Structure 1
Amino acid sequence: MHTAPSPVPQTRARQSGLALAHVASPAAWRGALEMRQADPTVALALRVGFATMVALVGCGLLGFTDVAAFAALGTLSSAFLRYEPYPRLAPKLAVVVGAVIVCAAFGAALGALGLTIWTQVVLLSAAGGLAFWLLQAFRITGPGAAIMVFAAAGAAGFADTAHDVGVVTLAITVGAVFGWVVTMWPALLHPHAPARVAVARALAAASAIEAGDDASESAARHAVSQAREVVALTPRRRVDEHTRELFALIDAAEKVVDGRSRDSLDPAHRDFAGLAADLRRIRADVRPPSTTEIAGIEALRPDGVFREGVRRVGDRSILLDVARLTAACLIAGLVAAALGLDHPLWATIGALTALQGAHYRHTVQRGIQRVMGNVAGAMIAVGIFAVEPGYWPLVIVAIVCQTCGEMFVTRNYAVAQIFITTVALVLTSLGASGGAAVAATRVCDTLIGVAIGVLVAAATIKREDQHHLAA
């Protein structure tokens, strides 16, 4: 007797089919090419570029050019957690520093033990999943676990002896700790900067509410809640008149979200666009007179970073994301290894980067952007390698490209990837022979990783994920 198939598999198959069809849709490619507005980026980009410069120049002057790339890679800890309030930034960034060091040391140990590339792919895919799990649990934003896996892959290729393991670990430790110091230094000069950005976002979101649009209202409420939490994290000794004014601006935004007219607000608080623009100018303090009192600021402060992170470690949704990301990394790396590519772990990184997306549409968009950026960046790197530059010209290229990449990463990931790919290939060439072959391998590995990442994302797409259909 013929039995009709269950509707659940049909629904899953149809949902995955629609997800895959989105890859070829005009909306996906338009989204990949869109240049978005962003919060202040120049100061942050210069910070990361400065950290990279100190690492590369310092290693060059001291004669440690063979491990300069690892020191520079460690300084990328400074690229994490943009706009995070400093009391939360310090412990979260310490988690990043520790993860980078542990992954690099682990990768170096694999290389020193002489394990096969197949074994390295398996173990480093697992390490990538664990790093992703850690970052998700502690809500750590930024380049993601790809940095940890890249550090581990590079270390595995470099280390042949126990001495090499020690040298690599020391170099990346120095770089990562310096990145932490560079990131925390502005807390002494501009302690209100993260709070100002959060309030500017709240004002912009409240101003963008459209009548009858539940999505824009929900987004505005979230932005207001986040701003209140960030300002509440202002250290006690830093609570001043400006802190009170920031709370007053949050109250004004919340009133608009609740449906009240701006005409009911204090005249100094009605120009949301102008106030948001002023607040985003980190170096210009806005201090209009205010008599606003802060009630119960202690009650507004969220739980500690580690307590919150430990609570989220067992979150089922995070565990499911970890499982599919690890599987995609493993498949991509094994496929690249089976094809005989020289750097199969780059395919693992490609899959990992794609699946770091917040939802499926973001995954596809990031995948497209990564491929486009890698192709363009590889072509630039080939041109650079063709003139056979020495160490110092490559250092200049790496510093400039790292800074430019950070300027564009929140505006358009494809443009940022052009610079990031160039930096990655330049750093790779500092410790080994570079050239067109390495650039071509990078592109091939990225294509494999992104393709497998998108396929796994489509096959495991969550039933409630409809972002790609809305697009």
Structure 2
Amino acid sequence: MTSNARFRHTGTALAHSLAPATWRGAFSMRPADAIFTTAIKVGIAATLVLIAGGLAGQPQLAGMAALGALTSAFGRYQPYRRLGRMMGIVGVGMIVAMAIGVLLGATGVPMALQIVILSLLAGLASHVFTAFRISGPGAVILVFAAGAGSGYAHSFADVAPPIIAVAIGVVVGWFAAMAPVVWVPLAPSRLAVARGIAAVVSLGTDDAGPRRAAAAAALRSARDSVTVSAGSLRENSSRSRRLHQDADHLHLLLDDAEATLALFDVPGSGSHADALTLLTQHELELRKVRGIPKVSLRQTGAASTAGENPPSSRGTTPPAFWAAARCEFASRSSFHQALRMAIAAALSGWVAVALGLGHPLWATMGAIAALQGLNYASTVQRSIQRLVGNVVGAAVAVVLLSLSLGFWPSVALVVLFQVLAELLVLKNYTLTTIAVTPMALIMTGLGTHLGPDAALSRVADTLVGVVIGTLVAALSISLADRHHLPKESHEA
């Protein structure tokens, strides 16, 4: 019975990947806010290392350093105390991946075996990133770095320079991402509070359904962010005292939002318009570059209208960063995801080798990128978006590569496409891939000649990767994964 149920579930999943509605949905645009901050950080980090590498006369190593600088693209919107640790983990992973890649290249390991090793690296990286809840480009960047190192190193004399280059890039990326903590230490927390308030305001008079639960979750996440950002109070530090004062005001705003949310549970509490209007004003203030609205619960009256102060998690200490990750490492779902990612990545690379494609690791990366989705529905969506984005991006790359651009124009294009990718990633992954494809090809060709045919090869390799990735995802889908089913079936 269980086998029949799984067979039907897999069949439904495969049918979902071919449905016209699925393809239409892959091109929908999502709302996104605060998209400029990370894009600027990534652009600054990439610019610094590419210019330095060019001035040093090391264009290929400049590309390696730019890969390391992509560390700054991870951990978007995290409080700085947590972000620094997350990027440290990613940075170590980038250096290890580059070391593995150059050793594979220097020792002449056959491509089929390289694919196995890098697929296992991808699975391990996925498991680690999930355990530490590190968002961003994901394991595919580590495999990209390892592949670049493998292509660069032909002897042991070539081992050290790429590792040093990517390490420099990691350090530059880390500082570029962390620099704003000096001026706006609570910026990620202010954004989290603004988003939590926006979720409450969006309820209006509708207090039913998952939107209310989502608003409550957004407020809890914001509370956690503020607590982490404030850290421990150091009485002898004026900066720490100011930080805690501002954090207290953010907590008051969250008290206000929680009290307003509680109004929806009070029968006959009347119109919530006044409370929601005031919350909207707070949200607008929080989205400014600096400044935190100075309010108290007495000003809004929300708590008194609700009849009592709503439950607050202000005194709750978030789980320790390392302790929380240790618990997540034992997650069966994360292990399952890592395992099927490794399998799909290896199969894709082997098929690309068997077909005689020129860059089989691109097929491996296609499968990895597809399987970075949270569920089967998002895997299919990412597969469609990556394939279509690669086709369009490859067309752009063909034009650019045929121009035989020099180093400095190539650097300008790499930075431009990286910034565009970060601006678009939260809007639609297709647009992001359109920008990433020429950026990756131009970066790969820094200091070497990469012809337009490489762009066509990338499309073929990507097609292999996303098809095999989707098939593996469908064959290994959990019976609990029902996000791809019609709403009525999901509820049943």
TM (norm. structure 2) is 0.89
Q: Which residue of 2 aligns with 1:357?
A: 373
Of residues 470, 485, 488, the one that matches 1:454 is: 470
Instruction: Give the gaps of 5 or more residues in structure 2.
Output: 234-239, 299-308, 488-492
Q: Aligned-pair distance for 1:300? A: 2.2
1:395 and 2:395 aligned: no
Q: What is the CA–CA distance in structure 1 between the aligned matches of 2:115 and 2:327, rounded to whole Å? A: 30
Q: What is the CA–CA distance in structure 2 between the aligned matches of 1:227 and 1:239, rounded to whole Å? A: 16
1:275 and 2:279 aligned: no
Distance of aligned partners of 1:288 and 1:265 in 2 relative to their CA distance in 1, 3 Å threshold: farther
Q: Aligned-pair distance for 1:298? A: 8.0
Of residues 16, 22, 33, the one that matches 1:28 is: 22
Q: Aligned-pair distance for 1:252? A: 2.5
Instruction: Give the gaps of 5 or more residues in structure 1.
Output: 1-6
Of residues 161, 177, 191, the one that matches 1:183 is: 177
Q: Aligned-pair distance for 1:137? A: 0.9
Letter of the 1:47 counterpart = K
Q: Which residue of 1 aligns with 2:132?
A: 138
Q: Which residue of 2 aligns with 1:225?
A: 220
Q: Aligned-pair distance for 1:240? A: 4.0
Q: What is the CA–CA distance in structure 1 between the aligned matches of 2:468 and 2:328, rounded to whole Å? A: 28
1:320-339 deviation digits (Å, cap 9, x = unpaired): 11111111111111111111
Q: What is the CA–CA distance in structure 1 between the aligned matches of 2:25 and 2:407, rounded to whole Å? A: 38
Identity rate, percent: 39
Contact 1:369 1:414 (8 Å CA) reproduced: yes
Letter of the 1:182 counterpart = A
Q: Which residue of 2 aligns with 1:257?
A: 261
1:242 and 2:234 aligned: no
Deviates more, 1:353-362 or 1:267-276: 267-276
Q: What is the CA–CA distance in structure 2 between the aligned matches of 1:277 and 1:363, rounded to whole Å? A: 35
Q: What is the CA–CA distance in structure 2 between the aligned matches of 1:300 and 1:89, rounded to whole Å? A: 20
Of residues 92, 97, 102, the one that matches 2:96 is: 102
Distance of aligned partners of 1:243 and 1:95 in 2 relative to their CA distance in 1, 3 Å threshold: same
Of residues 313, 316, 337, the one that matches 2:353 is: 337
Q: What is the CA–CA distance in structure 1 between the aligned matches of 2:378 and 2:187, rounded to whole Å? A: 28
Report how many residues are paired: 463
Q: Aligned-pair distance for 1:309? A: 1.2
- In the TM superposition, 1:23-422 aligns within 5 A as 23-209=17-203, 211=206, 213-233=208-228, 234-235=230-231, 236=233, 237=240, 238-258=242-262, 259=264, 270-281=277-288, 283-290=289-296, 299-422=315-438
Distance of aligned partners of 1:296 and 1:459 in 2 relative to their CA distance in 1, 3 Å threshold: closer
Q: Aligned-pair distance for 1:312? A: 1.4
Q: Aligned-pair distance for 1:414? A: 0.6
1:389-411 deviation digits (Å, cap 9, x = unpaired): 11111111111111111000011
Q: What is the CA–CA distance in structure 2 between the aligned matches of 1:263 and 1:409, rounded to whole Å? A: 41
- The secondary structure found in structure 2 opposite 1:302 is coil
Distance of aligned partners of 1:268 and 1:222 in 2 relative to their CA distance in 1, 3 Å threshold: closer
Q: Aligned-pair distance for 1:277? A: 3.7
Q: What is the CA–CA distance in structure 2 between the aligned matches of 1:36 and 1:360, rounded to whole Å? A: 19
- After superposition, the CA RMSD in angstroms is 2.2
Distance of aligned partners of 1:263 and 1:196 in 2 relative to their CA distance in 1, 3 Å threshold: farther
Q: What is the CA–CA distance in structure 2 between the aligned matches of 1:256 and 1:10, rounded to whole Å? A: 48
Letter of the 1:278 counterpart = E
1:207-266 deviation digits (Å, cap 9, x = unpaired): 333746432122122111111111111233153443223212222322343325797889
Letter of the 2:249 counterpart = E
Q: Aligned-pair distance for 1:353? A: 0.7
Distance of aligned partners of 1:88 and 1:22 in 2 relative to their CA distance in 1, 3 Å threshold: same
Q: Aligned-pair distance for 1:296? A: 9.6
Q: What is the CA–CA distance in structure 2 between the aligned matches of 1:466 and 1:195, rounded to whole Å? A: 33
Distance of aligned partners of 1:257 and 1:25 in 2 relative to their CA distance in 1, 3 Å threshold: farther
Q: What is the CA–CA distance in structure 2 between the aligned matches of 1:48 and 1:389, rounded to whole Å? A: 23
Distance of aligned partners of 1:267 and 1:181 in 2 relative to their CA distance in 1, 3 Å threshold: same
Deviates more, 1:18-27 or 1:221-230: 18-27
TM (norm. structure 1) is 0.93
List structure 1 segments (4+ residues) > 6 angstroms apart after TM superposition: 261-266, 295-298
Of residues 423, 443, 448, the one that matches 1:427 is: 443
Q: Aligned-pair distance for 1:163? A: 2.2
1:410-432 deviation digits (Å, cap 9, x = unpaired): 11111111111111000111143
Q: Aligned-pair distance for 1:356? A: 0.7
Contact 2:94 2:145 (8 Å CA) reproduced: yes
1:338-360 deviation digits (Å, cap 9, x = unpaired): 11111111111111111110111
Q: What is the CA–CA distance in structure 1 between the aligned matches of 2:280 and 2:471, rounded to whole Å? A: 42
Deviates more, 1:232-241 or 1:301-310: 232-241
Q: What is the CA–CA distance in structure 1 between the aligned matches of 2:352 and 2:448, rounded to whole Å? A: 21
Deviates more, 1:152-161 or 1:24-33: 24-33
Contact 1:205 1:220 (8 Å CA) reproduced: yes
Distance of aligned partners of 1:273 and 1:298 in 2 relative to their CA distance in 1, 3 Å threshold: closer
- The secondary structure found in structure 1 opposite 2:167 is helix
Of residues 5, 21, 30, the one that matches 1:11 is: 5
Distance of aligned partners of 1:268 and 1:370 in 2 relative to their CA distance in 1, 3 Å threshold: same
